Each structure stands twice: as structure tokens, then as C-alpha cells.
């Protein structure tokens, strides 16, 4: 297969780039940022397997593969390291009481919860335990994928703002960017919330919402939080020994004062919930912009001649290793991946 340009070095573009390059495809990976993961990926809570309890549209068909694909990546790339801690959810447990839990999810009671999270001040009576869930450092994981793509021959160009697709009729010839023209026989758009604008010259219309979400980083005594905790007021997990990530449900403005208040709010919630959190300190707070297509993941060709391909989804930290593998196989063999059947862009006439 000849030259493919991948636009976007978040977790999606990095995974597609890696999986293509390891099959010998000449890949150029372009990103407007100075390094990988400067978009939603770097601001992610990066819980693998949870998907906020929601697997919309075609994500359902990928659900069975995501944990195995992360285990595969761990063996392929030593710098990919998952904290296989399991998760405990009681944020919306009441609402789920009467609906069946997905595979690998179990109801547990107060004593089990206290054993799993011994520092909780007031363990709930019940929670959903997913022992197979894990979490990653999203930036380190994306870096590892980009480095591995490069090691397999990919060209990686940062500070490259892609301004347009270069088309002859409906056929893509490459992309125009702040680093010049990059020729390609195929362009894969993995630019998250930047995708709708790039698709403007194409017949496909892709509604992708940019949904804000708040991520707070804190220092904490190592092991204060042992699993991934999704409680009604926040989600929290240890991303590295002594460093926590915490998401808040509501987002104020992005002003410095508002972010500082959000950080203090996060600290208060943590200290209310966990013994031993007096020494926790806020390291920073950011609002990330999550790319959210309305009907679930959108993955497939967006030009009739199959020269432009798109990959955009929420919960992409969870899904990236699986969709990277499937997309690369599909592009290299020309055979559509059945698992992606329900992810296809719908509006291509």
C-alpha cells in the first residue's frame, strides 16, 4: 500500500499510525501541536473499559476486544503500561439496579467495597465492580504509540496545522498544511473536534460535538485510591504512584479563577470521601474538549473513491488499540472489518 497521511497525533491517530506502520505502510503523521496528545487525549481521565457505562452505537461491537487489545499492546510496546486496578461505580448505580450489567461487571456490597477501597470514609451499600478495568497515562501511551510508529518507519511532523485537503474532483491528492503540501493516496482524519471542518469539501456531513469536561491533577500519598472510583460527585484514580486524576461533572468557565475554584472543589470532595487525603495538593486543572459524534464512533470512508477515511469517537482511550488494529487491517487488505459495520459514516450518498 502506498503513502497514507494521518492527521492528528492524539490517541486515535497515534494508534492508526502505529498499526499501519507496523504492517509496512509508509505513514506520515501530522499534528498541529508541539508533541503528541495535546488535544483531548492529554486532558483525559483515561479509564479503560468504563466508557462512562455507555457504549453507544457501534462501540457495542468493539466492547469485547478492548481489554485484550490493551494486553496485546503491553506485550508489543514496553512503554505502554496499564494499571489493572479494576473499577468501582456507584455514581449511577441506583439507575442501573434493574438493568442487566454488562460482562465483567458485578454488584458488590459495603464490606467488599471497604476491602477494595479501605480509605473510603463512607463506603456505599452497593456498587458495580469491574475487576478487569484499568487506566493508563494517556500522554505516555500516545507517546509510546507515536515512537513505535516512528520506529517502524513513519514520519512524524509536529507544529503542522492542516488547513485543507488537496482534491482533484473527489479524489484526495494530499493535504495542505503550515509545513507545506504532503502528498498521499489516502488521508486518515483523526483530528478529533477538528474533523467536521476538514470534511467540508466532502459529500459526508459529520456532526461531532465538542463537549467540555474538567480534569484535575493532584498529588496524594501513594495508594490512597486503589481502584478507579466513580462516585456521584466525581471520578478519581491513581495515574502514577502518588498522582491522582479527578474529573468533575460540572464545568465553569476556563478563566484562571474558575479553574482554581474547580481545583479546590475537587480537593474538598476528595478529602470528604477519603481518609488520609489531608496531604493532597492540587497540581492543576484543565477543561478538555471531547470529540463526541452523536451516534457513537464514526469510522470509515468519507469520499466515494475511498481516498479519505475518518476515525472519531468518544471514549477513544478505551477504543484506540482496537480501532487502530481494525482500521489498519481494513486499509491494508481492502476487506471491511465486520466489527466496524455499525460505525460507518451514514451520510455518504
Ligand X SMILES: Cc1cc2nc3c(=O)[nH]c(=O)nc-3n(C[C@H](O)[C@H](O)[C@H](O)COP(=O)(O)OP(=O)(O)OC[C@H]3O[C@@H](n4cnc5c(N)ncnc54)[C@H](O)[C@@H]3O)c2cc1C
Interface residues toward ligand X, by CB under 6 A: 7-13, 30-33, 38-41, 43-47, 50, 160-162, 190-192, 194, 213, 215, 247, 288, 290-291, 312, 314-318
CB of 312 to ligand X, least distance (A): 6
Q: How far apart are CA 45 and CA 83, in angstroms?
A: 13
Q: How far is the CB of 28 from ligand X (least distance, A)?
A: 12
CB closer to ligand X out of 240 and 279: 240
Cell of 283: 497540581
CA atoms within 13 Å, Cβ hemisphere of 326: 22
Start-end of H helices in the chain: 11-21, 66-76, 93-96, 110-116, 138-151, 195-198, 256-273, 316-333
Helix, strand, or coil here: 15? helix
> Nearest distance from residue 110's CB to ligand X, in Å?
25
Residue 164's closest CA among 192, 190, 201, 193? 201
Residue number, 291 or 296, with CB nearest to ligand X: 291
Residue 9 or residue 282: which is nearer to ligand X going by CB? Answer: 9
43 or 238: whose CB is closer to ligand X? Answer: 43
Tell me how far, at minimum, the Cβ of 57 lies from ligand X, in Å: 14
Q: Cβ of residue 315: shortest distance to ligand X, in angstroms?
A: 4
d(CA 158, CA 161): 8
Q: Which residue's CB atom is positioned nearest to ligand X?
A: 10
Q: What SS3 state is found at 269?
A: helix
66-76 vs 316-333: helix crossing angle, rounded to 10: 80
- 11 or 343: CB nearest ligand X: 11
Amino acid at each position: 500500500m502506498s503513502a497514507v497521511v494521518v492527521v492528528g497525533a492524539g490517541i486515535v491517530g497515534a494508534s492508526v499510525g502505529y498499526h499501519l506502520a507496523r504492517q509496512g505502510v509508509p505513514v506520515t503523521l501530522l499534528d498541529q501541536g508541539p508533541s503528541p496528545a495535546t488535544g483531548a487525549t492529554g486532558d483525559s481521565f483515561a479509564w479503560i473499559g468504563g466508557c462512562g457505562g455507555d457504549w453507544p452505537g457501534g462501540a457495542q461491537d468493539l466492547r469485547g476486544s478492548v481489554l485484550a487489545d490493551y494486553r496485546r499492546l503491553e506485550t508489543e510496546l514496553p512503554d505502554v503500561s496499564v494499571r489493572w486496578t479494576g473499577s468501582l461505580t456507584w455514581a449511577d448505580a441506583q439507575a442501573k439496579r434493574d438493568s442487566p450489567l454488562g460482562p465483567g461487571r458485578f454488584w458488590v456490597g459495603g464490606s467488599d467495597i471497604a476491602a477494595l477501597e479501605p480509605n473510603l470514609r463512607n463506603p456505599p451499600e452497593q456498587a458495580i465492580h469491574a475487576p478487569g478495568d484499568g487506566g493508563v497515562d494517556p500522554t505516555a501511551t500516545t507517546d509510546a504509540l507515536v515512537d513505535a510508529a516512528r520506529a517502524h518507519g513513519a514520519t512524524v511532523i509536529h507544529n503542522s496545522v492542516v488547513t485543507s485537503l488537496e482534491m482533484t474532483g473527489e479524489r484526495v491528492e494530499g493535504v495542505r498544511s503550515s509545513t507545506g503540501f504532503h502528498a498521499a493516496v489516502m488521508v486518515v482524519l483523526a483530528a478529533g473536534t477538528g474533523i467536521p471542518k476538514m470534511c467540508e469539501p466532502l459529500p459526508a456531513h459529520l456532526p461531532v460535538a465538542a463537549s467540555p469536561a474538567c480534569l484535575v491533577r493532584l498529588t496524594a500519598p501513594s495508594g490512597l485510591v486503589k481502584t478507579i472510583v466513580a462516585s456521584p460527585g466525581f471520578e478519581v484514580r491513581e495515574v502514577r504512584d502518588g498522582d491522582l486524576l479527578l474529573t468533575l461533572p460540572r464545568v465553569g468557565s476556563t478563566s484562571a479563577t474558575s479553574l482554581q475554584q474547580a481545583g479546590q472543589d475537587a480537593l474538598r470532595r476528595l478529602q470528604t470521601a477519603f481518609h488520609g487525603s489531608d496531604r493532597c495538593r492540587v497540581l492543576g486543572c484543565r477543561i478538555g474538549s471531547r470529540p463526541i459524534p452523536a451516534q457513537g464512533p464514526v469510522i470509515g470512508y468519507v469520499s466515494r473513491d475511498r481516498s479519505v477515511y475518518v476515525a472519531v469517537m468518544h471514549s477513544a482511550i478505551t477504543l484506540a488499540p482496537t480501532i487502530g488494529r481494525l482500521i489498519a487491517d481494513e486499509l491494508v487488505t481492502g476487506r471491511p472489518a465486520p466489527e466496524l459495520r455499525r460505525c460507518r459514516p451514514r451520510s455518504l450518498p
